[in-house]
């Protein structure tokens, strides 16, 4: 397959990892509004299903790290989660942030004064199983976003099974196969993007070229350090996922100015 052309720094998409999570508690509306203000091209979020089948933006299986409560997300109702403070961040445990419904984040992105995408990761393994992807697609269909039109939403997963389910439910929805460990990269199922972590890319920079040689676009997570941004640019990465969207965008613009 023909090697994809290298993108310029300006063409590299900057995706805010759980929002501008270096500035605000992750997965909070404040973090996402900051990311939009900082110029992020898209907002990354993790989604899980509550016991009453609400899609919420929470990374961990349990709530202890990011809230003042205890419990497993999938065993709690939305009302129980909404009673907790999810503002735990950098030692501040009571900032008043509430658990974020995915649909509220979606509306926020759509209401922005410029096109802002969503990069949604479905978390596995989970007791919800395929119900997680089914509910996500149901919500996206309500907003006319499940067919991939306009490229406003893409779904990411480390699970090949999850990507297969997504393709069956919404064949036009762009998907990203996330990669955490060094493997001989297969062609991801139904995915046009591959997403290795920055630690893996540092250890094996040639992985990016091998993925691109398969016709895959490459996004790397989570890229916060200037030297890692430069590495991604040199390797031809199309998308950078970062906790620091403003700083990364400024660095990319600076690199463009010197060319």
Give the pLDDT score at 1. 46
- Residue 78: inside a domain, yes or no? no
The boundaries of the domain holding residue 247 are 9-61+100-257
- Residue 69: inside a domain, yes or no? no
Number of neighbouring beta carbons within 10 Å of residue 140: 24
- Residue 89: inside a domain, yes or no? no
Q: What is the CATH number of the domain that holds 208?
A: 3.20.20.190
- Residue 94: inside a domain, yes or no? no
- Residue 88: inside a domain, yes or no? no
17 is catalytic: yes
Provide the whole-model pTM. 0.93
- CA distance linking residue 158 with residue 1, whole number of Å: 24
27 is catalytic: no
- Surface-to-core class of residue 160, CB atoms within 10 Å of its CB (0-12 exposed, 13-18 middle, 19+ buried): middle
Tell whether omega for the bond before 222 is within 30 degrees of 0, i.e. cis: yes
Averages of pLDDT over each 10 residues, the chain, 259 residues: 62 97 96 98 98 98 95 97 88 78 98 97 87 97 89 93 92 92 63 93 95 92 98 96 98 84
Catalytic residue among 17, 22, 24, 193: 17
Domain count, the chain: 1
Give the pLDDT score at 191. 82
- Surface-to-core class of residue 29, CB atoms within 10 Å of its CB (0-12 exposed, 13-18 middle, 19+ buried): middle
């Amino acid at each position: 397959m023909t090697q994809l052309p290298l993108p310029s720094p300006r063409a590299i998409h900057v995706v805010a990892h759980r929002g501008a999570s270096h500035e605000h508690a992750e997965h909070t509306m404040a973090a996402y509004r900051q990311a939009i203000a900082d110029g992020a091209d898209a907002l990354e979020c993790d989604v899980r299903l509550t016991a009453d089948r609400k899609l919420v933006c929470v990374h961990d299986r349990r709530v202890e790290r990011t809230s003042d409560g205890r419990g497993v997300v999938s065993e709690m109702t939305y009302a129980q989660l909404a009673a907790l403070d999810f503002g735990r961040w950098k030692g501040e445990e009571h900032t008043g942030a509430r658990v974020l419904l995915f649909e509220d984040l979606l509306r926020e992105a759509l209401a922005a004064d410029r096109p802002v995408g969503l990069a949604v990761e479905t978390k596995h393994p989970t007791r919800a199983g395929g119900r997680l992807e089914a509910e996500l697609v149901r919500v996206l269909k309500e907003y006319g976003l499940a067919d991939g039109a306009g490229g406003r939403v893409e779904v990411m997963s480390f699970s090949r099974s999850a990507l297969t389910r997504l393709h069956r439910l919404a064949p036009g929805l762009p998907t990203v196969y996330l990669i955490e460990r060094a493997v001989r990269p297969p062609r991801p199922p139904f995915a046009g993007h591959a997403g290795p972590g920055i630690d893996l890319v540092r250890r094996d920079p040639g992985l990016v070229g091998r993925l691109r040689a398969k016709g895959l676009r490459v996004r790397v997570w989570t890229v916060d350090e200037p030297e890692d941004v430069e590495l991604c640019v040199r390797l031809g990465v199309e998308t950078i996922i970062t906790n620091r969207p403003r700083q990364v965008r400024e660095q990319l613009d600076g690199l463009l100015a010197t060319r």
